[in-house]
Amino acid sequence: MRIIKTNTYEEMSVLAANMIGGQVLLKPNCVLGLATGSSPIGTYKTLVENYEKGILDFSRVQTVNLDEYCGLSGDNPNSYRYFMNHHLFDHINIDKANTHVPNGNAVDLEAEAIRYEKFIESIGGVDLQLLGIGHNGHIGFNEPTTYFPKDVHTVNLTESTINANSRLFERREDVPTQAITMGIGTIMKANKILLIAGEDKTDIIEKSLYGKVTPEVPASVLQLHKDVTVIICKKK
């Protein structure tokens, strides 16, 4: 495991984008696992800039997102499909048909979870998975629990996660209470994992990387992965 500390959010974003860009250059038809939230916005901005400079070509890349809220359509500004289009996909030469986000608006969420898990396997798995981390240690929407969920599944969001995400919604009651997410097992199958986090996550990062491996701190499982890079910025 590599741990890199940066002085600024911008420096963290550039380093993360360079790592993702390196994966694209090494394997132009790679599968990128992508995340949402405030942490990766700068990373996506830098990837767009590198594409515009002619450094990166995304025409053969496929992407699979970690998660999606249940009950939101892809054109809802609070959905993660909308987030990805707005911050990345609309600004690079990727084929939108090769960008994949779980369908949180599916009639049968259990069937959608099974479909998404099988789909990731069918394209050969994830070459590089980008992660953020919640204050309670969640990765994707895998909340603290008594076991590590293996596959893609639906989850009831904790009050702390709902509160943290409510800043993005007009009203707290508008925040979905469920999400569909890659399981811990799905995430751990990625060949490489890149986790980025701000200074406000220092305590949970330390607990996750140096504490006991336990589903009560979902990110602690990353200690068992063969190739993890963690980039932490001091301030944003």
Q: Which residues are catalytic?
A: 67, 136, 138, 143
Separation between Cα atoms, residue 118 and residue 62, nearest integer Å: 15
> Angle between the 41-52 and 80-87 helix axes, to the nearest 10 degrees?
40
Helices (H), the chain: 9-26, 41-52, 80-87, 109-122, 159-165, 184-188, 202-210
Contact of 156 with 178, CB cutoff 8 Å: yes
Q: What is the SS3 assignment for 84? A: helix
CA distance readout (Å), 21 to 39, 49, 50, 72: 17, 11, 8, 30
Tokens at residue 74, please? 């892809």
Tokens at residue 23, please? 């994966």
Write phi, then psi, for 201 (nearest 5 degrees). -100, 10
For tokens 């996750």, what's the residue? 208
Tokens at residue 201, please? 């996550």
Q: What is the SS3 assignment for 8? A: coil
